[in-house]
Structure 1
């Protein structure tokens, strides 16, 4: 089990945020806390791994939020700041509940098989490399919305890397790198096929 926050606990917080007909980004931030930058990134990436990524425009919204959060993760901020236009964006609560339910079994498996290891990948220069990758991967999501659920692959990479950083488990960071490499290969192949 991880020493730090578990995916199951994070899913509980997301589920608890969806109490009204719609849940906003601010509702989720209120549950997780505005000082918890990496858990916020992980929470958004987790939701986007689920079929909820098929909602038009949702991937782009998540990309903007993660990009802004990651910029602040690279700076000495004490609390998270997002513009009101992003904090007020909403999605139907029933979709959030379905996404959380869909994610619970894989999250429980990951929680059971995570513990601090390969810590060199979660500290020092390699930690900064992972943070930069977590910021760069979402930049592609608005362009990938035309291919259904392709953004879920990118979101899984961000989720794996951010979870690895949170729990000091370098194995998940490596898996995140692998997903980024696979995604990059698919994109390059698609670009070459289109020319």
Structure 2
């Protein structure tokens, strides 16, 4: 399934930026910029939003989880074009908040962009790509429950973003880093749980 839309992180960020005259931007408008065949790009975009300060907006982690689950499910089912319900497509974000999030992400993503290259690319192709998608889905499933806990979903979104960066840039090293981040997070959570109980 070919991808469409931005193929590097800087272009992805700029695709999120509203028109100069717009006070708000909707998910429908962003999809218009990145393309409705960019399944992995949409997952990355959503993950990045939840790494940024926008994750503090009430309901944003749950909305992000629903978007990622819908996108990943449709990819696994082999759809050629992305479909999302109108209630998600028409959700709008204020220009000031979105610009702030983009500015927040520019420096770290610029650093990553300069270091991505085609390596371990077998991890970015099927059937291993399906495993990445299933891992992403498993990571976002608890977000609606964990949303009241500060920063927890942002940590999970970091893992999702690492995996999605690997898929978008065809750099399997970032997929390895994503798996390692999830393993470290799972170990830390187990240690906390074991200490409490």
TM-score using structure 2 length: 0.90
1:1-195 alignment, distance < 5 Å: 5-16=7-18, 20-195=22-197
Q: Which runs of 5+ in 2 are unaligned?
A: 1-5
Distance across 2 between alignment mates of 1:120 and 1:141? 29
Any unmatched runs of 5+ in structure 1?
none
- Between the aligned partners of 1:70 and 1:153, the Cα distance in structure 2 is 19
Counterpart CA distance in 1 for 2:103 and 2:32 is: 21
Secondary structure of the 1:146 match is coil
In the TM superposition, residue 156 of structure 1 has moved relative to its aligned partner by: 1.2
Is 47-56 or 123-132 further displaced after alignment? 123-132
Distance 1:69-1:17 versus aligned 2 partners, 3 A rule: farther
Is contact 1:157-1:176 (8 Å) kept?
yes
How many residues are aligned here?
A: 192
Structure 1 residue 25, shift from structure 2 partner = 1.5
The DSSP-based 3-state class of the residue aligned with 2:101 is helix
Aligned to 2:3: none
Q: Secondary structure at the match of 1:124?
A: coil
Give how far 1:55 is off.
Answer: 1.2
The alignment yields a C-alpha RMSD, in angstroms, of 1.7
Q: Deviations over 1:26-57 (max 9, x none)?
A: 12111111111111111111111111111111
SS at match of 2:80: coil
Map Cα deviations across residues 134-158 of structure 1 (whole Å, 9 max, x no partner): 1221112112212212111111111
